Amino acid sequence: MEEEWMRDRALLRDLLTRYPLWTQQQYAQVVGRSISWVKKWRKRLREAEAHDVQVLISRSRAHSAPYPSWDPRVEERIVEMRLSPPENLKRVPGPRALLYYLARDAELQALQVPLPRSTRTVWKMLHKHGCILERPKPKKQPLKPREPLEEIQMDFKDVSTVPSSESQEGKRQHIVEVCHFLDVGTSVLLGAHAREDFHAQTAMQAVIGFLRAYGRPPMMTFDRDPRWVGSSSGRDFPSALRRLLLCLGIHPNVCPPHRPDKNAFVERYHRTYAQECLQIQCPGTLQEVREVTETFMQHYNWERPHQGRACRNVPPRVAFPTLPPLPPLPQMVDPDAWLRTLEGQIFVRKVGADGCVNVNLVPYYVGQQVAGQYVALQVVASERTFAVWHGSTLLKMVPIKHLQGQPMPLEDYFALMVQEALAEERRLSASQRHLQQLALW
């Protein structure tokens, strides 16, 4: 590259000698450079001798002159004004305010010393004298390594390349989505389910299909998507999915809000999936999404090198050709086992005009004397009841409804939880329609 630049500069010097009356435009056309380039190098070449080779060499753009040293009295005055604001200023002056007062300082004007004109220079002086402290850099702690199949992260990925059909009414946020299941300990993608209608019921079916295929992992991590947690806040009564996992002995790990780093492995896979699959293949239908997803899943697990700590720059299934077996699903399930994990938990509800509150879509009569007020329902798991509190007053003990009371076969339990997930979806849809109507009003 440097040789090409020197060749063009030598050509310009030859043209300046042979055709001194040419215009800058003519020089630029022959050399193949811009007019500004011709202006700069014509000036340099005319100032040098006719056969000077050094002038053709590029010049460094680095700052060569030493930085000016400021008078110590200027720095002392800046620090003094920082510690004792002038003219009864009721705040600590920053670099911009200090520049204003420096230009109007009578003592410095009498000394006729150069004053800084940049806020960056003032900031450096303040930092030099300890008036501005650097924020401590947070130390990033590496994630605790997991054993294979110890934790499964799951999340939805929207496929934005699929257009909405004309038969769909209104604007839909998600046309086609893919539900991914990824193992934290090995970075192996265990499952990818593409659908057009992911809601609480179909999400539950995807999780059940994963559990049938692999068994019961110790932990499953997911975010606060209402299709997972049931309510938009994720702090309400446990959703059908969380109750199912608890009854099967799986810990449901719900990520805190605005913390995608707690679901980092599947989020990182989503980025890879979007950049290396969706943005290249651009599937336009559900069937195309399923085909490219299945192909990319094989490529990701068996062919694509993974730079994760566990894989060490080899594909995940090459690093872990065999995965340890997980405990199988039980034949009989206690459908009320989730209640023991809620011992002492409190749910706050507002009493309606009829004296009832709703918990998990089920009404409980509290009393019309507290209508319009808030009550707290505390879980007493040993007695399978809610203790209803109004302030510090215990109003009553009400039995928790819709408990099964006895173990049931696994398939019957799955069917029951799918129906409860469907009820959650209907409640969420009704709530969204209500909010839309309020917005129109």
Same domain, 252 and 155: yes
Same domain, 45 and 118: no
429 has a pLDDT exceeding 70: yes
Region for residue 297 given its phi and psi (left: phi exceeds 0; alpha: psi -120 to 50; beta: otherwise) = alpha
In a domain, 196, yes or no: yes
Same domain, 24 and 99: no
In a domain, 98, yes or no: yes
Region for residue 111 given its phi and psi (left: phi exceeds 0; alpha: psi -120 to 50; beta: otherwise) = alpha
Which residue has better confidence, 158 or 137? 158
Kindly report the backbone phi and psi dihedral angles of residue 268, in degrees, each rounded to the nearest multiple of 5, phi listed first. -65, -35
Domain end marker among 319, 354, 387: 319
Same domain, 89 and 157: no
- At 298-331, the pLDDT tens digits run 999 999 999 999 999 999 999 999 999 999 999 9
CA distances from 421 to 144, 204, 243 (A): 33, 7, 11
pLDDT at 360: 80
60 has a pLDDT exceeding 80: no
171 has a pLDDT exceeding 50: no
165 has a pLDDT exceeding 70: no
Same domain, 218 and 279: yes
In a domain, 340, yes or no: yes
Which band of pLDDT confidence, cut at 50, 70 and 90, is reported for residue 8?
A: confident
Instruction: State how many domains the chain has.
Output: 4
Same domain, 259 and 182: yes
Could you tell me which of 407, 238, 419 has the C-alpha nearest to residue 339? 238
pLDDT at 140: 80
What CATH number is given to the structural domain containing 199?
3.30.420.10
pLDDT at 167: 45
In a domain, 428, yes or no: no
Same domain, 157 and 299: yes
- At 377-415, the pLDDT tens digits run 999 999 999 999 999 999 999 999 989 889 999 999 999
User: Cα(106)–Cα(70) distance, rounded to whole angstroms?
Assistant: 18
In a domain, 438, yes or no: no
Which residue has better confidence, 167 or 95? 95
Which residue has better confidence, 235 or 126? 126
Same domain, 155 and 304: yes
In a domain, 296, yes or no: yes
438 has a pLDDT exceeding 70: no
Which band of pLDDT confidence, cut at 50, 70 and 90, is reported for residue 1?
A: low
- At 16-43, the pLDDT tens digits run 888 988 999 999 999 899 999 999 988 8
Domain range for residue 110?
A: 72-128
Same domain, 204 and 268: yes
Instruction: Mean pLDDT check: name the lowest of 45-54, 182-191, 270-279, 304-313.
Output: 45-54
Sequence-distant (6+) residues with CB within 8 A of 376 are 346, 347, 348, 388, 389, 390
pLDDT at 387: 95
pLDDT at 172: 54
Same domain, 313 and 178: yes
- At 200-257, the pLDDT tens digits run 999 999 999 999 999 999 999 999 998 899 865 556 789 999 999 999 999 999 998 8
In a domain, 420, yes or no: no
pLDDT at 152: 97
437 has a pLDDT exceeding 70: no
Same domain, 48 and 77: no
Same domain, 120 and 85: yes
Which band of pLDDT confidence, cut at 50, 70 and 90, is reported for residue 168?
A: low
Which residue has better confidence, 210 or 165? 210
Across 364-389, average pLDDT:
93
| Residues 238 and 270 sit within 8 Å (Cβ to Cβ) | no
String of b and e for 145-176 (b: at least 16 CB within 10 Å)? ebebbbbbbbbbbbbebbeeeeeeeeeeebbb
How high does pLDDT run on average in the chain?
89
In a domain, 410, yes or no: no
> What is the percentage of the chain residues whose pLDDT exceeds 90?
61
